[in-house]
Every structure is written in structure tokens, then in C-alpha cells.
Structure 1
């Protein structure tokens, strides 16, 4: 009767996991539930297709001196083709080794940026990822710098600036200038490095007769349709995507687009002495960074047409006397969240916690060293899959002493098993007394029943850290392994469910079980077979079905994780066989247990036959 009950409970547990797991995946790991092709569609924030009624503009409004309010409203418009919009206004070309695009002289906007090192899809002829796109196009996303003030004419988003050069390169800065009719000349001197950092020096020369008060600002404005978030780009508890800032030396991952909507016209504001503000995507970042840790007011605001704006302004308007010049410098990061580059910028320009733009999460202290180890192994081997295999050897090597203690503990547990069975028989009617006597036995024999679980617990932060590294690090994106594995940051695409693509059928993500998760399940099953059998039949049955449950659980995860787990299982099997040779009593006890189990099964079969 007990055996039947245990089997029923095991089956129910399996069903709950298999059918409940897709719901949990969509809730907590939305970035994992999509197949390779779906993930690729999310990699280009600005393309020419589809439509969402928005203009994307965010004009500055004149304010009283000392105020830092900047408008975020925009008129709805018709989505137009990118090439048409780019041809409407005069532009200054941007030409660097890693960024291509242009600056719109109307409004002095950075609204045309593509990342030449990163393509939208795996194919070599795939177009580069577009980060910034102008107003009036799908997924409009841009940055601009300006001034707010009362009683003085300031340039706005309609102002057409004059450029002193036709092209912005790392060797040739560009100065944009505009003058009003009352004697004020505004200038923005732009410089760019060979990666993703743009420096904007805003200056105002007051040649008028009276003092003026101005507040320089910088904004990032983007369209984000929360009802149609691309696959792999959803905010979740494991990966923060959306508004982000570092305020007074603390990284804020708590604000999302819905929070900005709920805040209304006032937005969400924070005073920041050390920090920056912007929008973080899975792989890309747009951020406004005050220089020299200047104290600013940062704010997130929502406008009409799914527009969201991040902005920084000085805390107070500054008075410019006649004949004087006011200068303010702000940096704009616009590019890929490459870990080493973020670390370099952080140290070189004293940018507080810029490396936290990558949402490393709870195990930050462990994940970054793991990333650098993996990155070094990748550079050493030239293949990221090989790097994962080499890292698995490193991890298993470090954990080898713990595995030895685990097996020693298992041997001790087997040695006291006869005494434990006697206690269970003696106190089978008194469970509390039985537990007390078993605990006393553990103490007398110096046995730690939890020692065998230690390696499993240690694997949890390693697995989670590797998950974060694979899913968040742009360095791992589109990295191939071998044969059919073209992207180790995406799920294994080859599944027998549709006969490896021969049947025109796309199975749901939790059923699209690839070859790697199947190999992972087989190796784990064999690994569990080498373990001593559990004394509790229910536990033994759970361990028997667990590998096959994990096959379905792991199917939507990155192929790199599946590769790591499979190789780890193989190494564990080899490790177990070697350790069994060092603990023959454990192997003998396993053989004895198997013999007793087979004998008991034959007796039960014979009893049923009779």
C-alpha cells in the first residue's frame, strides 16, 4: 500500500512540475521561454517595420530660474520609414570604429546610431543593431542637450543648429552653435571616443546687457510599447530592463516603466551626487553621466504615445552675468554593455557603479570573476563552448575535496545503516522517539547526514551565476559551439519533438527539448544510478524521475547552461567511479543493497503469482 501511495505521489509531483513549470517560466524567466528565432527579433531596438502612433519628441519648456522641469509630452504622429525621416533634415555624420550614424541638426539630437560590431541576427550579412532612431519612426530613441530658463530665448527641439564640421570622429570633434536675438550664443562641443562614450560640453556666452539664469539639461527619450514587448526584452525578477539610475552611489533596479506611468506628470525624481541615469536593455545601454560627480536632479517621466524620458539637470539655475560664459559637461554612453569596457570607463572617468548597468544580481561578487574566467578561457581557446567545458573542469577541480568528503560521509552513512534499521524497527510506532534515537546515533558515530548535500548547495550559486553570465553578457551573445549549436546564449534549437525540423511544427518552449538537455538527463540518470540508494522509497523514486523532469525544466534555458550541466555530470560520473575505488565498503554496500532489492522484488512477484 505504501509503495502505491509513493508512486502516486511521485506521479502527481511530476505532473505538477511539468505543467506548472511553463507558468513559472513565463513569470520569472520571460527571457528564456522563446526560441532562437524569437530572441533574434528583439535585438534591434529601431527598425522600419510595424507601427505605433508616436512622435517621440520631448521639447524643453521654459521654466522659472532654479527649476529643472523639462517637458516630456509629444504629439502623436504616423510612423514613417526610417530612410525618409533621416533625409528630412541636415545632419552631421558619426563615423567611429564601433558606431555609425548621424546627428540631427534640428534639435541637436543624437537620433541615428547603429552598433557595427553587433548584428541583429546570426547571419553574417545581417544588419547592425540599431540603438537610436529618430522621432516619427518605430521605436524612436534619441538623446539631446539643451537649456531651460525664463525671460530668455533658448534653443528647443525645432532649432536648426550650425555645425563647424560635416563629420564627428574620434579625431575630429564637432561644435554646434546657435545665437538668439538678445545676445546669447549657445554652443555644444561634441567629442566621441573609439567605443561608445560621447562627451557634450554645453556653453552659453552672454553678450547681452542683462544677466540671465539658465539650467542646462540632458535627456534620453524613447518609445516603449509595454503591450508589445519583444521576446527576450521583458523585465523580470532575474533581469532588470527599463529605467535605471545610480543615485548617491547606490544602483537602483527598482523602477520600471509601469512605475513611471503611475507617477503621472511629476515623474520620479532623485537628487544624485554620484551617479547617472538612463535606460538599460538586455544588452544595450543609453545613459546620461554628469562629469566630476556634479550634483544633479535626475528624473524619469512618461509622455503620450508610449514615450518615456530620462533626464538630468543641475539642481539650481545658474546666473550668467553680461560678458560671462557658462560651461557644463555631460557624457552620453550609447552602446553595448561590455563588461570590461564598463569597468574601464568606471575607473578612467570615475563613473560610479557604471558596471552595475549589467544586472548581475545577488551573486555579483562571484559572477564577475566567473565572467572574467570564462572570457579568458574563451580568448585562450577561441571557442566559447570549449571555454564552458574548460571552466567546468576548473569548477569540478575546485570542488573535488568537497566531493571526497561527501563520499566519505556516504560511506559512514552506509556503515551505520544496520543500526539505523534496528532503531526504525524498534520504534516504528513512535516516530518522535525514532528520530531522537537516530540523531543520537549520528552523534555517537560522528556522522553528518547533510554532508552529502553540500556539493549540491554549492552548485546553486555557480549555476545561477553562469545563467546570469550567459544571459546578460553581450560577449556571449551569438557565440557558436559546434555543429547545430550556433548560439550558446539561446536554447538548443534541435529537438526530436518535430523530428529535428523535418515536421513543420514548432512545439511550445517547454516541450521543445533539444539534444543537449536530453544528454543532460541521460548523464544525470546514470550519475544517480551510481549513488547509494535512499533508505526512504519515496526519496528513491523522486531521485529516479528527477533527471527526466529536469530535461523539460532545462529545455528553454541557454544551450551553454545545458552544456555546462552535461559536462559536469560526465565529470561527476568519472569522479564517482574513482572515489568508489577509494571507498570499497561503499561499493560493496551498494551491491548488497541492489541484491536485496532484486531479491525482494522477486519475492513480491512470486507472492502476487501465488
Structure 2
């Protein structure tokens, strides 16, 4: 009796940790979900404003300041299917950029994401290319460039031109594709009487850290790829110490949860990447060619680089890596250790979405596919469970016989398993296989912009956010929003119910403490999973329903599991 009381106390402590301690621990290592996009009050669904703005997002002050700053200098307009904005001819900066296809919220009148803003405005964020030289005057931030056109668009490049008055002409030919990649072809023509030495460079400046939260499972912040590997740094580290990365092939920039800016030098040219900070909360990623280029009189030198500014769309990032040869460009998305599972799951899930047009339905079909693939293993699991149940009397006899000799008991039990051809761990295999699959889907929901603002049915407007509908305000009929830590949504409740019935189908454990654990476990997991993305909960509910159907069928194949073990 004392042993049972001891076990129950241990169980109670573990339960308290799961309910109250786990959310604190998981906040950093396993962040629950993206912020909710809607709330339900008074029986109506209301779109929530973003709690924190995206990079250079529009605010009242930012709009006024930005308009004034933009009007102060001559500009070339940017117009593509995915981007709009302008290039500042003073300093040749790409400093005004809006992502046409992505909005701040799901509201119909929501403004689009503004990624870049000029210096002097709120959240200044811009990029440029230039040259350093100790022998001639090179263009600087005050140089006003001449442009060959007034619009940059796919198939319509422009050339920026500047003359230093000493016989040298500097040109930047800018082109852009239909997505998010700029190409900068930098040329220096030496019309002087003596050789000159110049060093091409590119820079990316950002005022302030990202408002997205850096997480253990999803990096947000400065990033550099050098020598075939990625370096993820946070803003505090860069503020304390600048870092240089000599490399041939690589890139550097800043990544948010869904957006990326990246400078990509020529992948065959030795360069030095740098991540550093400046005054007033400024951060900079830049590169410079490692060796200066010597240009003889009457000759020219050209260097080509690229600049990415846009959404981290998985297929697009992978295509740029393959077609343009950008070394490990897919490291812009922090797949982590499980990328070998996560990327196939994403591509299959994305294919299903394109097929059916609903990500929730695609998640259900993904779950069905996984269960079908694991079905042969589940058959072996149930056969093993049936065999284990059949030998329970023999195990009990051995435990009574050798209860004072634990090593002998273990030896006899292993011999019994071998004689009866039973593997006691076989029943754990399906669960162990599901863990990396669950984690992979969890990361896909957090990382990929393709899941952002994807609706499912009825009140579920974003599968990457928690369920906003809760009985605590009578499913939205009462005009108040419960605190998030107790606002258990409808979908998590369905998850708890599905787990309850699944556990009820399992053979009842013989140990009383185990019975108590299994009785309360579904409701504990319901609270633990409530803040997570609805998409993950949909996967788990579907998996539970399929498991119950599978158990019903397999119980018919192994009736010994439904009968009490012989004594």
C-alpha cells in the first residue's frame, strides 16, 4: 500500500510539472504557435492587429516620415508581380520595398508587408553596392546617380551611372526577376592615365533588431554562410562583437520568421563576409572582395552580385540555390537536424494543398498517408502486445520466484522472451516513429510561410495559430477574451476526447497506478497542446481517429488482447 502511495505522489508531481512547468520550459525550446490572427467575441470573429510589426511595417508615424524622406531624393520605381517600391538615386540604395502578395493580417483592407525603408524613417532598412579605393574617389552615400530609365521591372533593367571627375566612371546595372532576386553588375571604367585599384562591396543596413522572436527551433537574426556551413547569430552577439568570415561561395544577411534579405557575392570570387553593429541600434551585413582589382588605363572591370529581398518560399529558395548556384541558400530556413524528414513532409504537404486547395484537408491526407505507411509496423505491434499478454502469468511467476534476486530475474525474463519469441519493445516502435514525424510537422507549421494565414474550416482562419474558439466565453457569445493560458479551444478539447477514447480501447493495465496515469493523461495533454498550432492538433486528432479504427480491426485479428490473461 505504501508503494502505491509513493507511486501516486510521484505521478502527481510529474503531472504538476507537465501542467505548470512544461509551458515555461517549452516557451523557448518549443514555442507553441504563431500569435492568434482572430478572436471570437459576441458571436463574431474579429481580426486581430499584429502585436508586433513586421520589418519596416507601416505605422502612423512611419508613413509620414517615410513619405517625406522618399520625396527628398530622385528615384527609380520598382514594379514586379511580387514587389513594388523604389531605388534611391542618392547613394544608389534599394531602400523602399513592399511585398505585394503578403499582407500584415487576414483583414481585407490590411496593408501589405513593407520590408525596406529609407534612412531617416522609422525602421530604416536598405541595401546598396559600391567600391572602396585608396587611389581614386569612389561614389559615396551623397553621390546622386544618373539612371537610364524610370522603372525597374522584369526584362527592363536600368543602369546607374556616376563620374568622379577624375576620369573614372562607375556603373551599376540592376535587373530583377519576377520574384525577389536583384542582380547588380558593377563596372568601373578607368579613363585616367594611371592604373587604379578598387574593391567592390555590398552592404545591408538595418535599424534595430527584428520584432520576430528568435527561437531554439527557428532562428531569427543575422546569418552568414561561409565555407559550406551556416552561422546563426543573434543581435546581442553581433552588438558585442563583429565577426568576419573569409570565404569563396556564401552569403550574408538578416532573416525574420518569414522574410529574408541576403547579399550574395559572386560565388567564385574570394570575399570577406562581415556581421557587425553600429551606433543607434544599427546592424549591418556586408561583403567585400578579398583582393583589390587593378584596372589599367583605358580598360574596365566588372563584378556581379545579387540581392534577395522577399518571402522565404521553400520552393523558390531551393530553386535559387540550384539554378544560381548560391551555396546553401536553403539554410535561410532553419530546418535544423530533422531537415531530412521536414523537407519531404513539407513538399508532400504542399503538393496535397495544391491538389485539394485546403491546408487542413492536406494535413488530414498527410496523416492518412503516414498511418498507411506505419500500418505494417502497427500489425507487428499488436502481435507483440498479444504475445506479451499471453505470457503475463509466466512473468508474474518469475517475479515471485526471483523477487529477491533482480539480476537473476532479468536473466530469466530475457530467456523467456527469447523462448516465446516476444520483443517487449516492439509495442513502442510506432510511437517512437511518430515522434520525429510530429516534430517535423511542428517545425513545418512554424517555419514555412506557405502555412501562414492558411484557413481550415469555419472559425479556424490560421492553421499555424492556436484555436481562438473556447467554451470559457460560451464560444464567443460573451464579449470577453479569456487569458491565453486558460483559453482551451474547441480543437484541443476534441484532441483530449479522441485521446481518451483511444486509451479506452487499449488493454487495461494491470497496475493500479498505471491505470490512474492513463485515466488522466488525455486531459493533461489537452492542456499542454492547447497553445500549439491548430494544424498540429488536426494531425493528432486525425491520427487518433485512424488509430482507433486500426485498433478495432487489429483486435479482431488478435482477440487475445481483449481477454483477461490466464492465471
TM-score higher than 0.5:
yes
The reply on whether 1:239 has 2:218 as its aligned counterpart is yes
Match of 1:413 in 2: 388
Q: Distance in 1 between matches of 2:216 and 2:237?
A: 15
Any idea what the Cα deviations from partners look like across 1:331-386, whole Å, max 9, x if unmatched? Answer: 11111111111121112111111122111111111211111110111011011111
Q: Distance in 1 between matches of 2:28 and 2:444?
A: 20
Give the one of 156, 166, 181 matched to 1:182: 166
Q: Distance in 2 between matches of 1:505 and 1:438?
A: 59
Q: Distance in 1 between matches of 2:279 and 2:514?
A: 57
Match of 2:260 in 1: 285
Sort the Cα spacing of 1:437 and 1:556 in 2 relative to 1 into closer, same or farther, 3 A.
same
Match of 2:126 in 1: 142
Q: Distance in 1 between matches of 2:380 and 2:201?
A: 61
Sort the Cα spacing of 1:39 and 1:528 in 2 relative to 1 into closer, same or farther, 3 A.
farther
Any idea what the Cα deviations from partners look like across 1:471-493, whole Å, max 9, x if unmatched? Answer: 11111111111001101111111
Match of 1:11 in 2: 12
Give the one of 557, 560, 567 matched to 1:582: 557
How far is 1:108 from its partner? Answer: 0.8
Match of 1:519 in 2: 494
Give the one of 41, 53, 57 matched to 1:47: 57
SS across alignment from 2:84? strand
The reply on whether 1:455 has 2:430 as its aligned counterpart is yes
Give the one of 226, 229, 235 matched to 1:250: 229
Q: Distance in 2 between matches of 1:268 and 1:290?
A: 17
- Check whether the contact 1:33–1:556 (CA below 8 A) recurs between aligned residues: no
SS across alignment from 1:305? helix
- Check whether the contact 1:406–1:451 (CA below 8 A) recurs between aligned residues: yes
1:394-413 → structure 2 map (5 Å cutoff): 394-413=369-388
- Check whether the contact 2:118–2:125 (CA below 8 A) recurs between aligned residues: yes
1:56-95 → structure 2 map (5 Å cutoff): 81-95=65-79
Match of 2:26 in 1: 25
Give the one of 364, 375, 385 matched to 2:360: 385
SS across alignment from 1:363? helix
1:141-180 → structure 2 map (5 Å cutoff): 141-180=125-164
- Check whether the contact 1:235–1:241 (CA below 8 A) recurs between aligned residues: yes
Sort the Cα spacing of 1:136 and 1:126 in 2 relative to 1 into closer, same or farther, 3 A.
same
Match of 1:434 in 2: 409
Q: Distance in 2 between matches of 1:501 and 1:159?
A: 58
Q: Distance in 2 between matches of 1:123 and 1:480?
A: 13
Match of 1:70 in 2: none
SS across alignment from 2:336? coil
Q: Distance in 2 between matches of 1:33 and 1:441?
A: 51
The reply on whether 1:445 has 2:445 as its aligned counterpart is no
The reply on whether 1:96 has 2:106 as its aligned counterpart is no
- Check whether the contact 1:47–1:82 (CA below 8 A) recurs between aligned residues: no
Match of 1:275 in 2: 250
Structure 1: stretches of 5+ with no match in the other structure: 52-77, 597-610
How far is 1:13 from its partner? Answer: 1.3
Match of 1:61 in 2: none
How far is 1:15 from its partner? Answer: 1.0
Match of 2:334 in 1: 359
- Check whether the contact 2:492–2:526 (CA below 8 A) recurs between aligned residues: yes
Give the one of 479, 491, 504 matched to 2:466: 491
Q: Distance in 1 between matches of 2:535 and 2:208?
A: 30
How far is 1:39 from its partner? Answer: 8.8
How far is 1:543 from its partner? Answer: 2.5
TM-score by length of 2: 0.94
How far is 1:442 from its partner? Answer: 1.7
How far is 1:505 from its partner? Answer: 4.4
- Check whether the contact 1:134–1:141 (CA below 8 A) recurs between aligned residues: yes
1:299-310 → structure 2 map (5 Å cutoff): 299-310=274-285
Q: Distance in 1 between matches of 2:32 and 2:235?
A: 17
Give the one of 238, 244, 254 matched to 1:260: 238
How far is 1:507 from its partner? Answer: 3.9
1:308-327 → structure 2 map (5 Å cutoff): 308-327=283-302
Sort the Cα spacing of 1:36 and 1:14 in 2 relative to 1 into closer, same or farther, 3 A.
farther
Structure 2: stretches of 5+ with no match in the other structure: 39-47
Q: Distance in 2 between matches of 1:482 and 1:48?
A: 30
Count of residue correspondences: 557
